[in-house]
Amino acid sequence: MTDVRMLYHDLVRFETELWAAVDARLRLDCDLPLTWFEIMQLLRHREGQRVQDVAEEFVITVGGASKVIDRIEKAGYCRRVPNPHDRRSTLIVLTAAGTTRADEAAPVFEDELTHRFSSVLGPAELDRMAAGLRLLRSATAGTPRKTA
């Protein structure tokens, strides 16, 4: 039987190492932090996101999301536009430069993930891993377990 404490240790350490490796590769090849790339990919594929939407997608605080978006905006990769459905909020959209940079970085991101996953695990193992993670995430999404 798998020791869940060791599973936790391995999963968290792997995630940390994976993030660091992908971030280093994107910074080296594209001069783009992984945090920015993740948000830019979201904006690339789902236009008209609010800061709140970004925070919910990445399970971070609204303040944290706003700070990262401020940095991306300062670099010229996104801008805030008025929300036509709610005057109290703005939408974040990629600029042409942001779209170009996200598109240039996507193959680098894919290549690093392929190196880290597909060169080690076969298709069936990857499918099982993905299914297991989806199941775990859906079972625990946003609901801290209450104890007596």
CA 25 to chain CA centroid, nearest Å: 15
* pLDDT at residue 147 tops 80: no
- What does the pLDDT read at residue 42? 97
CATH number at residue 24: 1.10.10.10
Model pLDDT for residues 42-82, shown as the tens digit of each residue: 999 998 899 999 999 999 999 999 999 999 999 999 999 99
**Residue 147 counted as domain residue:** no
Any residues with CB less than 8 A from the CB of 52 and at least 6 apart, and which? 62, 65, 89
pTM: 0.86
Structure-token pair, residue 37: 């790339």
Model pLDDT for residues 90-102, shown as the tens digit of each residue: 999 999 999 999 9
Range of the domain at 53: 4-138
- Hunting for tokens 């303040």 — which residue is that? 63
**Residue 64 counted as domain residue:** yes
**Residue 143 counted as domain residue:** no
Q: At what angle do helices 62-74 and 34-45 cross, to 10 degrees?
A: 90
Q: Identify the band that residue 145 occupies on the pLDDT scale cut at 50, 70 and 90.
A: low
Q: For the chain, how many structural domains are there in total?
A: 1
**Residue 113 counted as domain residue:** yes
* pLDDT at residue 125 tops 60: yes
Q: Is 48 left (phi over 0), alpha (psi -120 to 50) or beta?
A: left
